[in-house]
A and B are shown apart, each in its own frame.
Chain A
Amino acid sequence: MTDRAPWLEIEQIIGRLRHAVDQVMADGGLYDERTAARAFRHAEGDPVAAANLVRALRAALPRFGAALPVERPWGHGPADGAGPGPDRSRVEVRHDRLPVVVVHPGTGEAVTIGHVRVTEAEIATGGLSGEALLEQLRRPGGCGVGSGRAPGC
Protein backbone atom coordinates (compact mmCIF):
# COMPACT_ATOMS: atom_id res chain seq x y z
CA MET A 1 0.00 0.00 0.00
CA THR A 2 1.42 3.39 -0.96
CA ASP A 3 2.07 5.68 1.98
CA ARG A 4 0.20 8.89 1.15
CA ALA A 5 0.95 10.66 4.40
CA PRO A 6 2.71 14.03 3.90
CA TRP A 7 6.41 14.16 4.57
CA LEU A 8 7.34 15.71 7.92
CA GLU A 9 9.11 19.03 7.66
CA ILE A 10 12.47 19.35 9.40
CA GLU A 11 11.22 22.25 11.47
CA GLN A 12 8.30 20.14 12.67
CA ILE A 13 10.61 17.39 13.80
CA ILE A 14 12.96 19.81 15.57
CA GLY A 15 10.13 21.70 17.19
CA ARG A 16 7.78 18.88 18.14
CA LEU A 17 9.94 15.77 18.42
CA ARG A 18 12.81 17.44 20.25
CA HIS A 19 13.56 14.53 22.55
CA ALA A 20 14.02 12.27 19.57
CA VAL A 21 16.29 14.84 17.94
CA ASP A 22 18.32 15.14 21.13
CA GLN A 23 18.61 11.38 21.42
CA VAL A 24 19.85 11.05 17.84
CA MET A 25 22.39 13.81 18.41
CA ALA A 26 23.61 12.25 21.65
CA ASP A 27 23.74 8.68 20.34
CA GLY A 28 25.23 9.77 17.03
CA GLY A 29 27.83 11.96 18.70
CA LEU A 30 27.21 14.90 16.39
CA TYR A 31 25.50 18.07 17.52
CA ASP A 32 23.34 19.50 14.76
CA GLU A 33 19.59 19.54 15.09
CA ARG A 34 18.83 19.68 11.39
CA THR A 35 21.13 16.76 10.62
CA ALA A 36 19.60 14.71 13.41
CA ALA A 37 16.09 15.61 12.27
CA ARG A 38 16.86 14.63 8.68
CA ALA A 39 18.32 11.34 9.85
CA PHE A 40 15.30 10.68 12.05
CA ARG A 41 12.98 11.38 9.14
CA HIS A 42 15.03 9.23 6.78
CA ALA A 43 14.95 6.40 9.32
CA GLU A 44 11.19 6.78 9.54
CA GLY A 45 11.27 7.44 13.26
CA ASP A 46 13.79 4.78 14.28
CA PRO A 47 16.21 6.62 16.61
CA VAL A 48 18.77 3.79 16.57
CA ALA A 49 18.91 3.75 12.79
CA ALA A 50 18.97 7.53 12.73
CA ALA A 51 21.92 7.59 15.13
CA ASN A 52 23.74 5.13 12.88
CA LEU A 53 23.21 7.46 9.95
CA VAL A 54 24.56 10.37 11.95
CA ARG A 55 27.59 8.34 13.03
CA ALA A 56 28.30 7.48 9.42
CA LEU A 57 28.12 11.14 8.46
CA ARG A 58 30.30 12.11 11.39
CA ALA A 59 32.97 9.63 10.32
CA ALA A 60 33.10 11.17 6.85
CA LEU A 61 33.24 14.81 7.89
CA PRO A 62 36.42 16.83 7.62
CA ARG A 63 37.87 17.66 11.02
CA PHE A 64 38.14 21.30 11.97
CA GLY A 65 40.14 20.47 15.04
CA ALA A 66 38.99 20.99 18.57
CA ALA A 67 37.16 23.82 20.21
CA LEU A 68 38.77 25.28 23.29
CA PRO A 69 37.76 23.09 26.23
CA VAL A 70 34.96 24.50 28.30
CA GLU A 71 35.94 24.90 31.92
CA ARG A 72 33.21 23.14 33.77
CA PRO A 73 33.60 22.68 37.54
CA TRP A 74 32.33 19.27 38.54
CA GLY A 75 30.97 18.67 41.94
CA HIS A 76 28.64 21.63 42.23
CA GLY A 77 27.43 20.24 45.50
CA PRO A 78 23.81 19.85 46.49
CA ALA A 79 21.53 22.68 45.44
CA ASP A 80 20.08 23.08 48.94
CA GLY A 81 23.45 22.79 50.66
CA ALA A 82 22.50 19.55 52.37
CA GLY A 83 23.65 16.08 51.45
CA PRO A 84 21.32 13.26 50.60
CA GLY A 85 21.90 11.41 53.83
CA PRO A 86 24.07 8.40 54.65
CA ASP A 87 21.74 5.81 53.17
CA ARG A 88 20.57 7.70 50.17
CA SER A 89 21.88 8.98 46.88
CA ARG A 90 20.71 12.01 45.01
CA VAL A 91 20.72 12.59 41.28
CA GLU A 92 20.57 16.20 40.15
CA VAL A 93 20.01 17.08 36.51
CA ARG A 94 20.76 20.45 34.97
CA HIS A 95 20.01 21.75 31.50
CA ASP A 96 22.45 24.35 30.26
CA ARG A 97 24.26 25.74 27.22
CA LEU A 98 27.97 25.41 26.54
CA PRO A 99 29.87 27.76 24.24
CA VAL A 100 31.74 26.48 21.20
CA VAL A 101 34.94 28.54 21.19
CA VAL A 102 37.45 28.38 18.36
CA VAL A 103 40.60 30.34 17.63
CA HIS A 104 40.44 32.99 14.91
CA PRO A 105 43.11 32.04 12.37
CA GLY A 106 44.09 35.63 11.68
CA THR A 107 44.15 37.23 15.10
CA GLY A 108 44.48 34.29 17.47
CA GLU A 109 41.46 35.55 19.38
CA ALA A 110 39.06 33.14 21.02
CA VAL A 111 35.79 33.37 19.10
CA THR A 112 32.53 31.89 20.38
CA ILE A 113 30.66 30.75 17.28
CA GLY A 114 27.60 29.49 19.08
CA HIS A 115 26.25 27.42 21.93
CA VAL A 116 25.08 23.85 22.31
CA ARG A 117 22.44 22.58 24.69
CA VAL A 118 23.62 20.03 27.22
CA THR A 119 22.27 18.06 30.12
CA GLU A 120 24.45 17.54 33.15
CA ALA A 121 23.76 15.01 35.86
CA GLU A 122 25.46 14.78 39.21
CA ILE A 123 25.12 12.01 41.75
CA ALA A 124 25.77 12.51 45.45
CA THR A 125 26.35 9.08 46.89
CA GLY A 126 25.63 9.61 50.56
CA GLY A 127 28.15 6.98 51.54
CA LEU A 128 27.30 4.31 49.02
CA SER A 129 29.90 1.65 48.41
CA GLY A 130 31.42 1.27 44.98
CA GLU A 131 29.26 -1.67 43.96
CA ALA A 132 26.12 -0.02 45.30
CA LEU A 133 26.96 3.14 43.37
CA LEU A 134 27.42 1.14 40.18
CA GLU A 135 24.00 -0.40 40.74
CA GLN A 136 22.54 3.08 41.05
CA LEU A 137 24.28 4.16 37.84
CA ARG A 138 22.79 1.26 35.89
CA ARG A 139 19.29 2.42 36.66
CA PRO A 140 17.44 4.55 34.09
CA GLY A 141 18.56 8.17 34.36
CA GLY A 142 22.26 7.68 33.75
CA CYS A 143 24.99 10.07 34.72
CA GLY A 144 27.51 12.40 33.16
CA VAL A 145 27.15 15.13 30.58
CA GLY A 146 25.29 14.67 27.34
CA SER A 147 24.34 16.88 24.47
CA GLY A 148 20.79 18.00 24.08
CA ARG A 149 18.11 17.65 26.69
CA ALA A 150 18.53 13.97 27.50
CA PRO A 151 19.43 12.90 31.03
CA GLY A 152 20.30 9.38 29.91
CA CYS A 153 23.85 9.35 28.58
Chain B
Amino acid sequence: MARSADDTAHDGADREPSPSPVRTRGQRCELLAVTDSAEVVALAEHCTDVSGPPRIVSGPEIGAIALSVREPEQHREVLLADVLATRAEVLHRDQLGWSMRLGTEPDAAVAAAVCDAEVVAGGPLAALVEALCNRTELQLAALRAAEAGPGVDETEDHESVDDGRAGEEA
Protein backbone atom coordinates (compact mmCIF):
# COMPACT_ATOMS: atom_id res chain seq x y z
CA MET B 1 0.00 0.00 0.00
CA ALA B 2 1.57 3.32 -1.03
CA ARG B 3 1.88 5.73 1.84
CA SER B 4 3.48 9.12 2.06
CA ALA B 5 6.00 10.10 4.66
CA ASP B 6 3.56 12.74 5.97
CA ASP B 7 0.91 10.08 6.68
CA THR B 8 3.39 8.09 8.70
CA ALA B 9 4.61 11.12 10.57
CA HIS B 10 1.26 11.75 12.21
CA ASP B 11 0.00 8.30 13.15
CA GLY B 12 2.85 5.84 12.99
CA ALA B 13 2.02 4.20 16.32
CA ASP B 14 -0.92 2.13 15.08
CA ARG B 15 0.42 1.27 11.63
CA GLU B 16 2.05 -2.03 10.78
CA PRO B 17 5.73 -1.51 9.99
CA SER B 18 6.88 -2.33 6.51
CA PRO B 19 8.58 -5.69 6.37
CA SER B 20 12.35 -5.24 6.51
CA PRO B 21 15.23 -7.62 6.92
CA VAL B 22 16.51 -7.87 10.47
CA ARG B 23 19.63 -5.74 10.66
CA THR B 24 22.09 -5.11 13.37
CA ARG B 25 22.75 -1.53 14.29
CA GLY B 26 26.13 -1.75 12.62
CA GLN B 27 24.60 -2.96 9.36
CA ARG B 28 22.13 -0.09 9.47
CA CYS B 29 24.93 2.40 10.10
CA GLU B 30 26.77 0.96 7.10
CA LEU B 31 23.82 1.70 4.86
CA LEU B 32 23.17 5.12 6.38
CA ALA B 33 26.85 5.90 5.75
CA VAL B 34 26.43 5.58 2.00
CA THR B 35 22.81 6.48 1.44
CA ASP B 36 21.95 9.48 -0.69
CA SER B 37 22.65 12.71 1.19
CA ALA B 38 19.48 14.49 0.16
CA GLU B 39 17.28 11.53 1.08
CA VAL B 40 18.76 11.04 4.54
CA VAL B 41 18.62 14.77 5.30
CA ALA B 42 14.96 14.92 4.23
CA LEU B 43 14.09 11.88 6.31
CA ALA B 44 15.87 13.26 9.36
CA GLU B 45 13.93 16.49 8.99
CA HIS B 46 10.71 14.44 9.09
CA CYS B 47 11.96 12.71 12.24
CA THR B 48 12.75 15.98 13.96
CA ASP B 49 9.50 17.58 12.78
CA VAL B 50 7.72 15.00 14.92
CA SER B 51 9.98 14.90 17.95
CA GLY B 52 11.77 18.21 17.93
CA PRO B 53 15.35 19.09 17.06
CA PRO B 54 18.06 16.69 18.24
CA ARG B 55 20.76 17.63 20.70
CA ILE B 56 24.16 17.56 19.09
CA VAL B 57 26.43 15.52 21.36
CA SER B 58 29.54 15.74 19.19
CA GLY B 59 30.40 17.02 15.75
CA PRO B 60 29.68 17.15 12.99
CA GLU B 61 33.41 16.89 12.74
CA ILE B 62 35.58 16.39 9.66
CA GLY B 63 38.73 14.38 10.12
CA ALA B 64 41.09 11.77 8.74
CA ILE B 65 41.03 8.01 9.08
CA ALA B 66 44.25 6.11 8.45
CA LEU B 67 43.66 3.28 5.98
CA SER B 68 46.11 0.42 5.82
CA VAL B 69 46.36 -2.95 4.17
CA ARG B 70 47.77 -6.06 5.84
CA GLU B 71 49.24 -9.11 4.25
CA PRO B 72 47.83 -12.03 6.23
CA GLU B 73 50.79 -14.45 6.07
CA GLN B 74 53.54 -12.27 7.48
CA HIS B 75 51.15 -9.67 8.92
CA ARG B 76 52.98 -6.80 7.29
CA GLU B 77 50.82 -3.69 7.53
CA VAL B 78 51.26 -0.83 5.09
CA LEU B 79 49.69 2.59 5.50
CA LEU B 80 47.91 3.34 2.26
CA ALA B 81 46.47 6.81 2.79
CA ASP B 82 44.33 8.95 5.02
CA VAL B 83 40.67 9.02 4.13
CA LEU B 84 38.52 12.08 4.76
CA ALA B 85 35.39 11.44 6.81
CA THR B 86 32.69 13.27 8.77
CA ARG B 87 31.24 11.95 12.01
CA ALA B 88 28.42 13.07 14.28
CA GLU B 89 26.67 11.95 17.43
CA VAL B 90 23.24 13.21 18.44
CA LEU B 91 20.66 12.66 21.15
CA HIS B 92 17.26 12.07 19.57
CA ARG B 93 14.24 10.60 21.39
CA ASP B 94 16.54 10.05 24.37
CA GLN B 95 18.73 7.75 22.31
CA LEU B 96 22.27 8.32 21.12
CA GLY B 97 22.63 8.15 17.37
CA TRP B 98 26.00 7.89 15.63
CA SER B 99 27.12 8.22 12.06
CA MET B 100 30.29 8.44 10.05
CA ARG B 101 30.39 9.14 6.31
CA LEU B 102 33.23 9.48 3.85
CA GLY B 103 33.94 12.97 2.61
CA THR B 104 32.81 16.36 3.84
CA GLU B 105 29.12 15.91 4.67
CA PRO B 106 28.22 17.52 7.97
CA ASP B 107 24.48 17.77 7.30
CA ALA B 108 24.21 14.20 6.07
CA ALA B 109 26.26 12.89 9.00
CA VAL B 110 23.95 14.55 11.52
CA ALA B 111 20.92 13.36 9.60
CA ALA B 112 22.18 9.78 9.52
CA ALA B 113 22.80 9.92 13.26
CA VAL B 114 19.23 11.12 13.79
CA CYS B 115 17.92 8.25 11.67
CA ASP B 116 20.07 5.81 13.64
CA ALA B 117 18.59 7.07 16.90
CA GLU B 118 15.07 6.99 15.45
CA VAL B 119 15.34 3.26 14.90
CA VAL B 120 17.05 2.56 18.21
CA ALA B 121 14.30 4.50 19.99
CA GLY B 122 11.55 2.71 18.06
CA GLY B 123 10.24 6.03 16.81
CA PRO B 124 7.25 6.39 14.48
CA LEU B 125 9.46 6.87 11.44
CA ALA B 126 11.72 3.91 12.14
CA ALA B 127 10.03 1.99 9.33
CA LEU B 128 10.89 4.76 6.88
CA VAL B 129 14.51 4.63 7.99
CA GLU B 130 14.56 0.89 7.37
CA ALA B 131 12.89 1.45 3.99
CA LEU B 132 15.63 3.92 3.08
CA CYS B 133 18.20 1.35 4.11
CA ASN B 134 16.43 -1.24 1.96
CA ARG B 135 16.60 1.02 -1.08
CA THR B 136 20.24 1.76 -0.44
CA GLU B 137 21.01 -1.92 -0.14
CA LEU B 138 19.35 -2.62 -3.47
CA GLN B 139 21.24 0.22 -5.13
CA LEU B 140 24.53 -1.10 -3.78
CA ALA B 141 23.73 -4.59 -4.98
CA ALA B 142 22.98 -3.23 -8.44
CA LEU B 143 26.24 -1.29 -8.48
CA ARG B 144 28.25 -4.32 -7.43
CA ALA B 145 26.59 -6.43 -10.09
CA ALA B 146 27.42 -3.84 -12.74
CA GLU B 147 31.06 -3.50 -11.71
CA ALA B 148 33.65 -5.90 -13.05
CA GLY B 149 35.30 -7.98 -10.36
CA PRO B 150 38.94 -7.32 -9.43
CA GLY B 151 41.30 -8.78 -11.92
CA VAL B 152 44.36 -7.97 -13.89
CA ASP B 153 43.65 -4.88 -15.92
CA GLU B 154 47.07 -4.33 -17.40
CA THR B 155 50.06 -6.58 -17.89
CA GLU B 156 53.47 -5.62 -19.13
CA ASP B 157 56.33 -7.95 -19.81
CA HIS B 158 59.87 -6.66 -19.71
CA GLU B 159 63.17 -8.11 -20.68
CA SER B 160 65.53 -8.44 -17.79
CA VAL B 161 68.17 -5.75 -17.31
CA ASP B 162 71.63 -7.20 -17.93
CA ASP B 163 73.72 -6.22 -14.96
CA GLY B 164 76.22 -9.06 -15.28
CA ARG B 165 74.81 -10.86 -12.28
CA ALA B 166 71.89 -12.68 -13.81
CA GLY B 167 73.95 -15.86 -14.10
CA GLU B 168 74.55 -15.88 -10.35
CA GLU B 169 70.86 -16.32 -9.70
CA ALA B 170 70.53 -19.53 -11.67
Q: Which A residues fall within an 8 A CB radius of B?
A: 25-26, 29-32, 34-35, 58, 61-67, 69-74, 79, 84, 86-96, 98, 100, 102, 104-107, 109-114, 116, 118, 126-129, 131-132, 135-136, 139, 141, 145-147, 151
Contact = CB atoms under 8 A, between A and B. Distances in A.
Given A107-B26, A147-B81, A66 B166 contact: no
A92 B158 CA distance: 11
B21 interface: no
B166 A128 contact: yes
Contacts of A30: 64, 81-84
A111 B84 contact: no
Interface stretch (B9-17, B27-35, B121-129): B27-35
Interface residues of B, number: 56
Interface of B: 24-26, 29-30, 33-34, 61-73, 77-78, 80-85, 87, 89, 96, 98, 100-104, 150-163, 165-166, 168-170
Given A61-B84, A136-B161, A112 B64 contact: no
A145 B78 contact: yes
Contact of A105 (B71, B98, B161): B98
Contacts of A112: 30, 33
B78 A111 contact: no
Given A63-B63, A64-B65, A88 B34 contact: no
- Chain B interface SS verdict (over half): strand
Contacts of A29: 81-82
20 contacts: A25-B81, A58-B64, A58-B82, A61-B62, A62-B61, A64-B63, A65-B65, A67-B66, A88-B158, A90-B157, A93-B154, A96-B150, A98-B69, A100-B102, A102-B65, A109-B24, A111-B33, A113-B102, A128-B161, A151-B154
Nearest to A90: B157
B161 A135 contact: yes
A87 B165 CA distance: 12
A79 B151 contact: yes
A32 B71 contact: no
Contacts of B103: 32, 34
A93 B81 CA distance: 19
A39 to B, nearest CB: 12
A34 B77 CA distance: 28
Given A31-B83, A89-B160, A102 B165 contact: no
Contacts of A135: 161, 163
B68 to A, nearest CB: 5
Nearest to B102: A114
Contacts of B83: 30-32, 67, 100, 116
A36 to B, nearest CB: 10
Given A79-B152, A92-B154, A113-B85, A70 B98 contact: no
Given A90-B155, A114-B101, A132 B160 contact: yes
Given A63-B66, A67-B67, 6 more contacts: A64-B63, A66-B68, A100-B83, A128-B161, A129-B163, A132-B165
